[in-house]
Amino acid sequence: MNKIKILIPVYNDWQSVFKLIENINSQVSTLNDEFSVIIVNDASTENRPELSVDLNNLKSIQIINMKENKGHARCIAAGLKYINEKKDFDYVIPMDGDGEDRPEELSLFIEKINDYPDTVVTANRVKRSEGFLFKFCYLVHKYLTLIFTGKIIKYGNYSCLPKSAVNKMVNEPATWSSFSGSLAKIVKDRKSIPSERGTRYFGPSKMNFVNLLKHSLSIIAVFKTTLLIRSIIFLIAYLLLVTGKISAITLIPVVAVIIMMISVIVLSKRENFLEFENSLENISSIDQIK
């Protein structure tokens, strides 16, 4: 029997998180592994309601309360570090707490790790629930990542990490900035399950265009050396191509690439390993609610 920790970051979305936990409890009822939930509360300002339902299929539920808000990616990073140092586990499954990562797919993870033990399994998106414009922007993000890093990243945080991979993740500075970028960097042999992006349980999605752009650049920043090399090659080739035809319009791609390079260099400074190492000092309290 595998001991599986489900890691959920939350900021002012308790209603969604508690509904997610109820659905997780229902979905794991037919599975033979031991499931526990660890919620990282990113210094929420909303009061947490009481969890009154019977969650008999979950071994335990803990809420780690953080002193200062650090953001979604760093919540997951700190949660991984906490689990790696403090818990007895075989696998960790990070999930978004709003319902967009579907608990119905947990059984697919279990099937896959039974076939491929000690292997990272990612939930690769095959269907999204957002509108056309967002889907288009996400497609642009995916291909920009491919062009400038050589990586196709079809997954987000929703994944199943064996203990060996968690240990690598907490020793990689990039995890402090981008979960999926870090995973792509340090784990080459991965399996996947097909995943549909669910709809939020309550309220609108928090992933807008600005957040998507920041998310995309954070992933690319993990591979900043590759980006810089490919960007320089692109600029040299492009400027040779438009020699004698330089105008405000033909210079747009040049300016765009330079802005991207600067943005990535700035974002790469988020990979602060000292902050990551000391992230558990940001814990104010831990509540055991089951």
Within 8 A by CB and 6+ apart from 141, the residues are 212, 213, 215, 216
How far is 62 from 54, CA to CA, in rounded Å? Answer: 15
Per-residue confidence of the chain (290 residues) as pLDDT tens digits?
899 999 999 999 999 999 999 999 999 999 999 999 999 999 999 999 888 788 999 999 999 999 999 999 999 999 999 999 999 999 999 999 999 999 999 999 999 999 999 999 999 988 655 566 667 777 777 788 888 888 888 899 999 999 999 999 999 999 999 999 999 999 989 999 999 988 889 877 666 667 767 777 888 889 989 989 999 999 999 999 888 888 888 899 999 899 988 988 888 888 899 999 999 999 999 999 98
Task: Give Dmax (Cα) for the chain.
Answer: 73
pTM: 0.90
How far is 40 from 278, CA to CA, in rounded Å? Answer: 16
How far is 217 from 182, CA to CA, in rounded Å? Answer: 13
Residue 13 C-beta-side C-alpha neighbours within 13 Å: 25
- Hey, what domains does the chain have and what are their CATH numbers? 3-130+154-204+273-288 (3.90.550.10)
